[in-house]
Amino acid sequence: MADATWVGATAKQISRAVRRGDVTATQVVADHLEQISITDPSLDAFRVIRAGEAITEAEKVDDQEDLSNLPLAGVPVAVKENTPVAGLPTWLGSAAMRTAVAEEDHEVVRRLRGAGAVVVGVTRMPEMGLWGVTDDANGPTRNPWDRDRTPGGSSGGAAAAVAAGLVPIAQGNDGLGSIRIPAACCGLVGLKPGRDVVPADLGVGSFFGMAENGVLTTTVADAALGFSVLAGRDPVRLVEPDKLRIGVSTRSPVAGLHADRPNLDAVASAAKLLVRAGHDTVTANPRYTTSLGIRVTASWFAAAYQEAEGLDVASLQPRTRRHIRLGKWASRSGLAKRSHQDSWREASIKFFADNSIDLLLMPALASAPPLAESFSSASWLRNMSVNVRYAPFAAPWNYAGLPAIVVPVGLRPDGLPLAVQLVGPPDSEVLLLAVAGQFEVLNPWQRHAFV
């Protein structure tokens, strides 16, 4: 925490101080708004900043007589721009996608505010949330660890804001890795809850039924707190898990693609940390078939087609238009079906049972985050190639609807963050958080980038 400012404090530290009366929500929010004004021009993490409105909302928090039941009292949060916030348009990544001003908050925003959080702004994403890089005609959002690199996507603005200390917690959503990929790019904790644990209700079909709302944070404790609020639960108390049997896999879901040496080393380091924590590790490789890859890709296409219903497609980016055309074909061909998702979900659950494993450890990324280029004006083929090559490990678990978390484990030789992914069976969110907490204790990470 810097002198006389709450910038850099965790959500738990802030909420505790506000509840005790050590600081006002108004002061905390003012500190963060000042930092946003200084830092965000070089990052472009935010689509819009709610400066005056946020101060007014913070004052309302301070006016409440009893703050004891507000787990996020006075905590500045950011909301991803595809998630309705009352009084603002919902951008969905581009001016062409922008909807009318929302009359009411999305349920997850309502829950954040109900817990005492203050929405300071909405963060940028790629058009329609289709890509693992974040940019549009106004330019790219940049990674605070290296402004020449992308913070990932589609929750790229959310990740950049948290990694730069502009907010301690940001809401994001994850349809094919859109929380976990930027968390890995920016050295954050990123939890994708399992199916039907947190309200989704995103766009037309919640990314063909694959998207979930979650949070990006700098600590496991904040991730647990944010998850509790979004899931409508009492604050989760993390305890040391019993001895677990954890599968380890470096096999890529995409044939012919492999994780680079730093990401392989990250998995090896994480496996050693698990053993130090008292767990057993065994090799366990999911069976990624060609048909699975085709079906996941078809659902990615179909998500764009579903979201584009009623839109002037000609006003969208060329890469998006081609994705939509392929989505129309995928929807009519029968390759994109919810029944296929259910089959993979059953096979994934059976994989955990057949291998007698509690969780599965794997790489979060296959390579370093790509350069922060103008991907929004690049060809569809260029976008597909870059996205699939650097981030192939996340998508199968959206398709299965299983919970997964990304945890930092160190730095690449070039100074960018390294991370691993843990996947669990249904209802294992708290267990994933508990194991992530063991990583944090045994191998603490740098919480913010040097900005």
Give residue-wise pLDDT tens across range 104-152.
999 999 999 999 999 999 999 999 999 999 999 999 999 999 999 999 9
Last residue of a domain, which of 231, 265, 288? 231
Is 154 one of the annotated active-site residues of the chain?
Answer: yes
Query: Does a structural domain hold residue 448?
Result: no
> Does 165 share its domain with 272?
no
Q: Domain boundary residue among 188, 206, 231?
A: 231
Q: 190 and 329 in one domain?
A: no
One-letter amino acid of 206: S
Instruction: Confirm whether 149 is domain-assigned.
Output: yes
d(C-alpha 428, C-alpha 119), whole Å: 29
| Domain match, 176 and 324 both | no
Q: How many domains does the chain have?
A: 2
Q: Which domain holds residue 426?
A: 248-442
- Are 159 and 295 within one domain? no
pLDDT tens digits for range 50-81: 999 999 999 999 999 999 999 999 999 999 99
Does residue 267 share a domain with residue 331?
yes
Whole-model pTM? 0.97
Q: Is 339 assigned a catalytic role?
A: no
Domain assignment present for residue 114? The answer is yes
Q: Which of 15, 94, 154, 331 is catalytic?
A: 154
- Identify whether residues 227 and 298 lie together within a single domain: no
Going from the first residue of the chain to its last (451 residues), give the mean pLDDT of each consecutive group of 10, the final group possibly shorter: 77 98 98 98 98 98 96 98 97 92 97 98 98 96 98 98 98 98 98 98 92 98 98 94 98 97 98 98 98 97 93 94 96 93 98 98 98 96 97 98 98 97 98 98 95 60
CATH number assigned to the domain comprising residue 305: 3.90.1300.10
Do residue 216 and residue 276 come from a single domain? no
- Mark whether 226 and 252 lie in a shared domain: no
Clarify whether 206 is annotated catalytic. Answer: no
- Asked if residue 292 belongs to a domain, the reply is yes
pLDDT value, residue 1:
41
Of the residues 12, 15, 80, 206, which is catalytic?
80
User: 178, 331, 367, 376: which is the annotated catalytic residue?
Assistant: 178
Q: Are residue 330 and residue 205 in the same domain, yes or no?
A: no
Q: Does 447 fall in a domain?
A: no
Q: What was the pLDDT predicted at 204?
A: 86
Query: Which domain-ending residue is among 164, 196, 231?
Result: 231
Average pLDDT value over all residues in the chain: 96
pLDDT given at position 451:
60
